[in-house]
Structure 1
């Protein structure tokens, strides 16, 4: 679970930045700007960072501030699951990434698998929707909804890792490599195997 103070700071930040977008009164704008700055100072103190670094991590905040969406694919074959090795930390995760505008969640997921592992897949079902802050991922100043899909291959082509990753390979559930936990945790993979074995299970929704 995310630290409660971080959750509060993120919520204040989102409310302040949304308020800045909609407000028309000069005095209200000053109050929202102060709240926004204070929220960044809070997050900086909690993460031993500078407010400027927090602002950079948050990026431009225009319009109504909403959670980001991360999509992940679970491709299981012969009792093993497909993972890709991240360039940023050398650790492994389920193929996936930010959902892109104009592309459906399922198509985003299939596109990520193609770009990162070089194979064509189709989505079979959604097995989990997680609010990142409620689970054992590292703290993050951004708020995420994480969508996990079971996928199946459409061809028998060999894995061909893309430029975004270092490698791609299949792993047994009892022999997983070090995971890139900002992106996927052990439970995400455990649930993928459970849903693969019992497709009738209800989707996990936070």
Structure 2
């Protein structure tokens, strides 16, 4: 679903990053640096973001390029789903965020729910592993895998966090405007599918 220019830019960046990591020949290193510059130029031309910002955000990593991991907690109460309103775009999302070094996916889900909503939860099961490029999110400079983990409330009270300014539960037919950078309408439908069919197999891609 992502535009071709974005796919090309990310592929070039990945090739350049691997080449700069593993190549020893000075001439090869120069070529890979040129490839990285081309990937930055593509991003800049299509986003109107300056080269330095793109390089800092998009082309600053070292080592073999791998996807980032975004973890979202799916929490139901009385057949309604827990959502938080994001301060930066005003849209609503499932509690979650980037995976943290040193924490398991379920630990990240539990931590993010507490930080963003105030509730204490325990992780129950993985319900989906989605490739962001296969879903109707806005274009992203990163290749992202999204893990959806169903959780159960065991305590706590509604409380906003540093990045959120509202906490609510919503029925399937009354969902609020979504932060589609974080979750899409089809992904919310997928979450409710597991509420109605607890034995559904894990969704992937």
Q: Name the counterpart of 1:199.
A: 198
1:162 aligns with 2:147: no
Aligned to 1:32: 32
The 5 Å alignment of 1:101-120 reads: 101-120=101-120
Task: State the shift of 1:160 in Å.
Answer: 1.3
Counterpart CA distance in 2 for 1:31 and 1:95 is 42
Q: How does 1:119-198 map to 2 (within 5 A)?
A: 119-155=119-155, 157-198=156-197
What corresponds to 2:57 in structure 1?
Answer: 57
Q: After the TM superposition, which segments of 4 or more aligned residues of structure 1 sit over 6 Å from their partners?
A: none
Partners of 1:13 and 1:35 within 8 A in 2: yes
Determine if contact 1:119/1:153 at 8 Å carries over to the other structure: yes
Contact 1:137/1:185, CA 8 A, preserved across alignment: yes
Q: What are the ranges of 5 or more consecutive residues in structure 1 without an aligned counterpart?
A: none
TM-score computed with the length of structure 2 as normaliser: 0.96
Q: What secondary structure does 2:40 align onto?
A: helix
Q: Figure out how many residues of one structure are paired with residues of the other and give that number.
A: 205
Instruction: Identify the residue that residue 100 of structure 2 maps to in structure 1.
Output: 100
TM-score normalised to structure 1 length: 0.95
Q: Secondary structure at the match of 1:192?
A: helix
Change (3 A) 1:59 1:102: farther
| Superposition RMSD in Å | 1.2
